[in-house]
Amino acid sequence: MKRFRVLRSFALLLRILGWVNFIVGLVIFLLILLAPPYLAKLGVAIVPGTNLLAALLVMLLAVFMTICLIASGELIQLFLALEEHTRKVRGLWDRR
């Protein structure tokens, strides 16, 4: 039986949230790029070029957050694997 089930579930949740964050960021990126023509038809004043800057900023932040979330989940998995390995080595030393 594996120990630390809640911590393993939390690591999985972090990795899933990382990918969901990336997908949502990509959708928002595309919406920002494609929205200005529709907003201009509605009479909203738009400064040219700002949508590209905003879209790039959103994508940059989404990628950064994705990397942070996935890395956090992987780091928890690393510590859990280290604990398991240490326990196995300790068991081998105790048998000597």
pLDDT at 80 > cutoff 80: yes
CA distances, 78 to each of 7, 71, 74, 81 (Å):
12, 10, 6, 5
Calculate helix-pair angle for 5-34, 50-95, nearest 10 degrees. 170
pLDDT at 35: 81
Q: The pTM is what?
A: 0.80
Across the chain, mean pLDDT equals 89
Domain ranges within the chain, ordered by starting residue: 5-91
